[in-house]
Amino acid sequence: MNLREMFSSVKGAAFMPYICCGDPSQEFTVKLIKTLVANGADAIELGIPFSDPIADGPTIQAASNRALENGMNPMKAIEIMKKIRKEEINVPILPMTYYNILYSQGTEKFLKMLKDAEASGVVIPDVPLEESGELSRACKNTGLDLISFITPNSSKDRIKHIAKNASGFLYVVAVLGITGARAKVENQALELIKNASSMTKIPLVVGFGISKPDHAKAYIEAGAKGIIVGSQIMNIYSKYISKDGKGFEEAKALDEIAEFTKEMKKACVGK
């Protein structure tokens, strides 16, 4: 299923969790995706960990470090993507990583590998529109959506320009800052969603700082068509990783993730 099909078939708004591939193990990543999808996730943003994630806060930094220490790399992430397709998981998968990971393998070559693993698009936070020429061409050539960002400090002209060049959906960054669970709904993000809705038909998907179903409800009411939650998912399961990093109460972690996913999905559907 591609993003367009997903958005046209989803009831209410889509729940699109972000997870960090390989944290704390490859096996867990597969189980986590299955749990998320079984409980209502409509798409998965799959983080391929990078050593220097400048757009990410402490939670995703820690998850990336655990994954890298446990041997995760971009090739293994692609293997995991192939594996979950064999498990009959059909939701769109969106690899998220930093530009150097693609660039070092040859951008188009790497995108082709992602496409072969049935990715729907890519999310690359350190490539703004002005630098996106090569990446954007390579995405078009391989048939992947390149997800663009808008933020509460983007000017109207800039939002229009970004929306015109966007594919898949527009990623609405809810906070001025880096990723990480926050306690409240951001008024500036509500404003941004309302403004952007009047300028473009492309689905608006909100991320950064969302940790509760109530946050999702508020953004959806303002016009969001999708909700991304990342750090809060890591906060939930990392509680069950022992301090020395060796023990992991996996079953308990997955149970709590399942509960959280159901609640978020409910908020997204609008119940």
The catalytic residues are 45, 56
Site for other proteins in 198-217 (CB under 8 A): none
Overall size of the chain counted in residues = 271
Of residues 231, 166, 169, 219, the one with CA closest to residue 192: 219
Under rule CB under 8 A, residue 99 binds other proteins:
yes
Do residues 234 and 20 touch, judged by C-beta distance below 8 A?
Answer: yes
Using the rule CB under 8 A, give the single segment among 4-12, 45-53, 248-256, 260-268 that binds other proteins. 45-53
Alpha-helical (H) ranges within the chain are 3-9, 26-38, 58-69, 74-86, 99-105, 107-116, 133-142, 156-165, 187-199, 213-222, 231-238, 250-269
Binding mask 153-172 for other proteins (x = CB under 8 A): xxx--x--xx----------
Under rule CB under 8 A, residue 173 binds other proteins:
yes
Nearer to other proteins (CB atom), residue 112 or residue 262: 112
Report d(CA 57, CA 211) in Å as an integer.
14
Under rule CB under 8 A, residue 90 binds other proteins:
no
Under rule CB under 8 A, residue 54 binds other proteins:
yes
Across the beta sheet with 145-150, what order do the strands follow?
A: 14-15, 226-227, 204-207, 170-173, 145-150, 121-123, 93-96, 44-47, 18-20
Under rule CB under 8 A, residue 106 binds other proteins:
no
Site for other proteins in 116-135 (CB under 8 A): 125-131, 133
List 2, 25, 70, 73, residue binding other proteins (CB under 8 A):
73
Which residues in this chain contact other proteins in the complex, by CB under 8 A? Answer: 50-55, 57, 61, 65, 68, 73-75, 98-105, 125-131, 133, 148-151, 153-155, 158, 161-162, 173, 175-178
